[in-house]
């Protein structure tokens, strides 16, 4: 089969052990990124199997309708960027393994990297030291005895909460009823209210999935409740914060700092407001991008293609394509 892998930003896939699964197939890998339908249509015109790395490229009807040879799209995880109905209309099988009940430890670990780096001004101090300045930034803040807020307490939020406990922090959680119940069952404190979560947290870490109901969930009024000394961390999705609200809140001084790994548009444009702020650490969506986790993601995507080629497609999201003899 002719297989294309999009958005391998760091040119990592060829060096993975799982890449050997595709031996005997013609594989094209693109390391740059584009959302331009014209460019994508040219790149994918001969593609039979398309591998997506998470949500990096949206796949909609205008593109799918131009890909006559495409038979299968292979993905892992949620798929808000894929028009499944359009896949079905175009006879393209869409496969994505969901769930599994395993947290992204890589994301949880990265969250804590951001917390410590932000509170101790690590990136700023590294840059200052390279410029010949010693201890150039204000004294940082430790974690022990501080309050960590978790919104919401799901798989990743639960791991981050455990790390907070290990650092000697008071941990409070909030979310939907099931989320609060899980936190309580694991021995963590449930915040007295949503407002209390924002007002009491010294570090507030967001772990809310982006669905239509959660888009813009965190508002300017929520952020205004935070302490001037507080840190907001977002390794979830940028869209859960109302557009422009975080930049405005940081300018107003509540919260005092932010660390973000996710952006409304990715890759983030050079003029993205948070990139110009000294009280913000921005990283290019690296939370889940760790060698072992990326290997496991790609292995699943490759297996789904091989299953399809063998006539036993797995994790099919739109089985109607198969039922009508498509794909």
Q: Which of 109, 125, 266, 295 is catalytic?
A: 266
The token pair at 316 is 């099919």
The token pair at 314 is 């797995």
Q: Which residues contact 184 (CB under 8 A, 6 or more apart)?
A: 190
Q: Compute the distance between CA of residue 230 and CA of residue 118 in angstroms, rounded to an integer.
A: 11
For residue 222, count other CB atoms closer than 10 A to its CB: 21
Q: In what order do the strands lie in the sheet with 49-51?
A: 26-29, 2-5, 49-51, 72-76, 93-97
Q: Is 215 noted as a catalytic residue in this protein? A: no
Q: Which of 285, 290, 291, 295 is catalytic?
A: 285
Q: Which of 54, 75, 182, 237 is catalytic?
A: 237
- Written as one string, the DSSP assignment of 82-93 is B-HHHHHHTT-E
Q: Is 207 noted as a catalytic residue in this protein? A: no
Q: Compute the distance between CA of residue 287 and CA of residue 175 in angstroms, rounded to an integer.
A: 21
**Residue at token pair 């109905």:** 85
Using a 10 angstrom Cβ sphere, with 0-12 exposed, 13-18 middle and 19 or more buried, the burial of residue 3 is buried
Q: Is 295 noted as a catalytic residue in this protein? A: no
For residue 100, count other CB atoms closer than 10 A to its CB: 11
Q: Compute the distance between CA of residue 247 and CA of residue 275 in angstroms, rounded to an integer.
A: 10
* Three-state SS at 128: helix
Q: Which residues are annotated as catalytic?
A: 237, 266, 285
């Amino acid at each position: 089969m002719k297989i294309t892998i999009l958005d391998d930003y760091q040119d990592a896939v060829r060096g993975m052990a799982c890449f050997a699964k595709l031996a005997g197939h013609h594989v094209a890998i693109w390391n740059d990124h584009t959302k331009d339908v014209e460019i994508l249509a040219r790149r994918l015109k001969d593609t039979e199997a398309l591998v997506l790395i998470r949500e990096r490229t949206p796949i909609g009807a205008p593109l799918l309708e131009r890909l006559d040879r495409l038979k299968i799209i292979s993905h892992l995880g949620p798929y808000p960027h894929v028009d499944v109905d359009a896949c079905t209309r175009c006879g393209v099988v869409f496969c994505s393994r969901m769930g599994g009940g395993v947290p992204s430890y890589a994301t949880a670990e990265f969250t804590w990297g951001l917390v410590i780096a932000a509170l101790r001004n690590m990136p700023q101090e590294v840059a200052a030291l390279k410029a010949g300045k010693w201890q150039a930034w204000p004294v940082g803040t430790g974690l022990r005895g501080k309050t960590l807020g978790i919104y919401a307490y799901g798989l990743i939020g639960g791991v981050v909460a455990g790390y907070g406990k290990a650092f000697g922090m008071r941990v409070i959680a909030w979310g939907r009823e099931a989320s609060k119940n899980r936190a309580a069952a694991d021995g963590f404190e449930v915040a007295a209210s949503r407002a209390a979560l924002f007002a009491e947290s010294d570090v507030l870490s967001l772990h809310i999935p982006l669905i239509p109901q959660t888009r813009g969930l965190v508002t300017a009024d929520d952020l205004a409740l935070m302490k001037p000394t507080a840190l907001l961390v977002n390794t979830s999705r940028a869209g859960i914060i109302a557009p422009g609200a975080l930049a405005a809140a940081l300018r107003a001084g509540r919260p005092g700092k932010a660390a973000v790994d996710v952006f409304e548009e990715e890759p983030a444009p050079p003029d993205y407001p948070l990139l110009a702020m000294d009280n913000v650490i921005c990283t290019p969506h690296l939370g889940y991008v760790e060698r072992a986790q990326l290997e496991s993601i790609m292995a699943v995507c490759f297996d789904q293609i091989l299953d399809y080629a063998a006539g036993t497609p797995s994790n099919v999201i739109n089985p109607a394509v198969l039922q009508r003899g498509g794909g």
